[in-house]
């Protein structure tokens, strides 16, 4: 399997200026510090980290919204430091932001979804086909003539995803796409993301602080103060409850429950991630008594 995203000793630094006692000071902030990682094509990778850890910076680097200050980052084989490839990079990796209102530009849903491919110079008849296809994919066909302003938060986010899909990227980077949504909206968006990954083979990079959204990922990466400090499957990562809490992160509720039960001496698996796994573990425990 070939790589969609490959970082080698990736760095991103910027200068922060602040005033203290009427004296201006500057400080070098290392948003990403010597990061190396490979994300395979067709994989679903979740990125976790507390606020200010560097996860959103990583997302912006993937989409070419900013350029590395050190090391290298390739997206679908394109070097992100080479401005010649910027449109190839953005066509390869679409971006979905936290607030869908920042991404919606038209007053009619189907016109908004068509905006991206229009700017890529896609033929009108092809655009119409794409818009119809992607609205069906995100289950928003019935709303194609609606105003985005009248949609719910979850529906708006699905329209934002449709707009990215219409440009036919091989990878979608979602930067906390459910942070502003209610539980039902979060569920709809994550189900859509999983469907795109499983059915269409689109590489997903999901940046989130909702642990339950990551349990079906192929890989979980934890960022702390600009460094990738943990990487592995969800079960490998979330079983390390105390270490994650040391990085200011939570674990899925059922995983923490299993952790507490084990501390009480109850013989239950430590790597439980879902309610179903917890129910099965408890049933097996009862049958052995």
Span 113-136, pLDDT tens digits: 999 999 888 999 999 999 999 999
Instruction: Please tell me the predicted confidence (pLDDT) of residue 149.
Output: 92
Binned at pLDDT 50, 70 and 90, residue 112 comes out as very high
Q: In 3D, which of 165, 172, 88, 170 has the Cα closest to residue 129?
A: 165
- What strands, in cross-sheet order, belong to the sheet with 78-79? 23-40, 3-20, 70-75, 78-79
Q: In 3D, which of 190, 198, 121, 200 has the Cα closest to residue 165?
A: 200
User: What is the residue-averaged pLDDT of the chain?
Assistant: 92
Q: Would you put residue 85 in left (φ > 0), alpha (ψ -120 to 50) or beta? A: alpha
Span 180-209, pLDDT tens digits: 888 888 888 899 999 999 999 999 999 998
55 contact partners, CB below 8 Å, separation of at least 6? 47, 48, 49, 175, 207, 223
0.85 exceeded by pTM: yes
Domains of the chain: 3-233 (3.40.50.300)
Task: Report residue 146 as tokens.
Answer: 């609606």
What is residue 147's DSSP assignment? -
160 contact partners, CB below 8 Å, separation of at least 6? 96, 97, 100, 103, 104, 177
Instruction: Please tell me the predicted confidence (pLDDT) of residue 289.
Output: 57
CB 107 within 8 A of CB 44: no
Share of the chain above pLDDT 70, in %: 98
Instruction: Please tell me the predicted confidence (pLDDT) of residue 285.
Output: 78
């Amino acid at each position: 399997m070939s790589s969609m995203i490959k970082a080698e000793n990736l760095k991103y630094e910027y200068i922060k200026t602040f005033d203290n006692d009427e004296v201006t000071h500057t400080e070098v902030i290392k948003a990403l510090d010597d990061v190396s990682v490979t994300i395979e094509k067709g994989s679903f990778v979740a990125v976790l980290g507390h606020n200010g850890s560097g996860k959103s910076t990583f997302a912006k680097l993937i989409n070419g919204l900013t350029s590395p200050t050190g090391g290298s980052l390739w997206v679908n084989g394109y070097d992100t430091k080479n401005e010649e490839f910027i449109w190839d990079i953005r066509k390869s990796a679409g971006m979905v932001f936290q607030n869908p209102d920042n991404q919606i530009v038209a007053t009619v849903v189907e016109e908004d979804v068509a905006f991206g491919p229009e700017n890529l110079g896609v033929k009108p008849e092809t655009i119409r086909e794409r818009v119809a296809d992607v609205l069906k994919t995100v289950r928003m066909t019935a709303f194609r003539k609606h105003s985005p302003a009248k949609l719910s938060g979850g529906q708006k986010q699905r329209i934002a995803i449709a707009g990215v899909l219409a440009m036919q990227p091989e990878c979608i980077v979602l930067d906390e796409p459910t942070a502003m949504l209610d539980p039902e909206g979060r569920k709809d968006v994550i189900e859509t993301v999983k469907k795109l990954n499983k059915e269409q083979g689109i590489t997903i990079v999901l940046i989130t602080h909702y642990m339950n959204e990551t349990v079906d990922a192929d890989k979980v990466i934890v960022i702390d103060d600009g460094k990738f400090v943990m990487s592995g499957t969800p079960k490998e990562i979330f079983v390390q409850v105390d270490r994650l809490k040391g990085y200011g992160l939570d674990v899925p509720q059922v995983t923490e429950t299993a952790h507490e039960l084990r501390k009480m001496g109850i013989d239950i698996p430590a790597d439980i991630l879902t309610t179903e796994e917890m129910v099965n573990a408890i049933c097996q425990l009862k049958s052995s008594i």
